[in-house]
Amino acid sequence: MVLVAKAGLQRGDIILKLDDKETNSVPDLRAKVAEHKVGDTVKVTYDRNGSQQSADVVLEEMPQDKSNK
């Protein structure tokens, strides 16, 4: 599953919380995302240039990597 850019997240945003649960690392974020299923909506709290913001994000299936073919 992937947090979609359609929700307004940008490169450089730092994800602080997923559904009000703090995330401390990329593996921690991945574990929290894995607790949900495709189609779930989660609240993502993030830092953008020193300003804390939040967005509701719909989880989508992670695209397959086609570079290995």
pLDDT at 65: 65
Q: Is the domain defined by 2-60 classed in CATH 3.30.930.10?
A: no
In the DSSP assignment, the letter for residue 61 is P
pLDDT at 5: 62
> Tens-of-pLDDT digits for all 69 residues of the chain?
455 567 788 889 999 999 999 999 999 999 999 999 999 999 999 999 999 999 998 888 877 766 655
pLDDT at 3: 56
- Label residues 6-18 b or e (16+ Cβ within 10 Å = b): eeebeeebebbbb
pTM over the 0.95 mark: no
Q: Are 3 and 44 in contact (CB under 8 A)?
A: yes
